[in-house]
Amino acid sequence: MTWLAHQLRRLARSRDAASAVEFAILVPLFLLLVFGIIVFGSYLAMVHGVQQLAAEAARRSIAGLNDTERASLAAGYVSANAGSYPLIVADRLTVASAKSGANVFVVTVDYDASRSFIFALPTFVPMPRPRIERSAAIPFGGF
């Protein structure tokens, strides 16, 4: 047996660096998983907040007597309650309200999340779209 063959055989049986190799292989996958959870969890929290604001604004708008008053009530609700959602900055919200059909009033809330902290993180994972738009419709009158 030659010296080189003996060294290769000894290296193949050695377990000294196995944990370092496993660590080097698994840490990038673990970090990818953790960053994915942080990014998409935060994004889904923002989406949920925008949807809740739209739904509650639509419910609030039902008290209006005409479309102008309904739109004012919806916008007032969003501006008054946007601060209760920790990942949403009220200055980046826009509210649009419109009558859809004979007895349906639709409130649309649009949020620009492009300056959110998740878009400042390293892009280990595919990033979601920075614009979040959610609508809620509520029927009124004619019951």
Residue 130 lies in a domain: yes
Along the 143 residues of the chain, how does pLDDT read in single tens digits? Answer: 688 788 777 767 766 677 778 888 899 889 888 888 888 899 999 999 999 999 999 999 988 888 899 999 999 999 999 999 999 999 999 999 888 877 889 999 999 999 998 888 777 677 889 999 999 998 877 65
User: Does residue 5 fall inside a structural domain?
Assistant: no
pLDDT of residue 142: 60
Residue 12 is assigned to a structural domain of this protein:
no
Per the domain annotation, does 6 fall within a domain? no
Backbone angles phi, psi at 77, to 5 degrees: -65, -45
- C-alpha–C-alpha distance, residues 56 and 107, integer Å: 9
In DSSP terms, 105 is beta-bridged to 99, 138
Q: Tell me how many domains the chain contains.
A: 1
Predicted local distance difference test score (pLDDT) of residue 11: 67
Residue 7 lies in a domain: no
Q: Which domain holds residue 97?
A: 17-139
The model scores a pTM over 0.85: no
Report if residue 3 sits inside a domain.
Answer: no
